Amino acid sequence: MSPERFARINQLLDQRQPDLTLVLENLQKQHNLSALVRSADAVGIHAVHAIWLDRRGRMSKGVAAGSQKWVKVHHHDSTEAAISAVKQQGMQVLVTNLSERAVDFRSIDYTRPTAILMGQERQGVTAEALALADHEIIIPMVGMVESLNVSVAAATVLYEAQRQRANAGMYQQPRLAEAERQRVLFEGGHPIFARICQRIGLAYPALDEAGQIVADEAWWQTIRAAGR
């Protein structure tokens, strides 16, 4: 790994927000998933959650492969499982929904651990998601249309979260767990070796302060044998 790439990946990881995420419920269009993951990456989200209620419509896990290299996508078979996962991390769950209970999305405190749930393109969020959410939010609109494309709506909310967190100094202190940082550094800086390790079930070695691999001869022999 070059010094420049090592520095760039570290800079990215220094600004990751492990307590901010998107929960995507039963999306049907591949380009929306890709756009949502890119928006998540742009504001420093480290992982998103995808819910698949209809297996026939399940998208390939590689749809947003370029962005997924830096944003982990967790897959769930139910809304309850996904919301349970983020609530176990202490996150408030916000659901975008056009209702009398919905509040202006800008009135929410996004410096708190937060999961933003976006519904399916045509039908919106499910009744289960509404029942499990902590708040319903709305993006005020003054035109003839009543809703935005799901990827546009998510980006709008995410950049309000980014604005609040930046003002609170939350991008100035590294917040990602060290083990996760080392995983991303290895996979991003040594992708060929990472793929071999994944294929044969070999643990990643440590990296030194310059991002170079620190491993004993036994590890290297295993890698050489697996790569033949």
Annotated binding site: 96, 139, 148
Sign of the CA dihedral with 81 first, then 62, 39, and 198 last: positive
The edge-to-edge listing of strands for the beta sheet with 135-138 is: 72-76, 47-51, 20-25, 114-118, 92-96, 135-138, 103-104
Question: H helices within the chain, ranges in order?
Answer: 3-14, 30-42, 65-68, 79-87, 127-132, 150-167, 178-189, 191-200, 217-226
Separation CA 47–CA 44 (nearest Å): 9
- In three-state secondary structure terms, 175 is coil
Separation CA 29–CA 58 (nearest Å): 10
Annotated binding site for S-adenosyl-L-methionine: 96, 139, 148
Bridge partners (DSSP) of residue 118 are: 24
Look up residue 210 and give its amino acid. Answer: A
Bridge partners (DSSP) of residue 13 are: none
- 215 to 92, 94, 107, 138, 173: CA distances (angstroms): 41, 44, 50, 52, 30
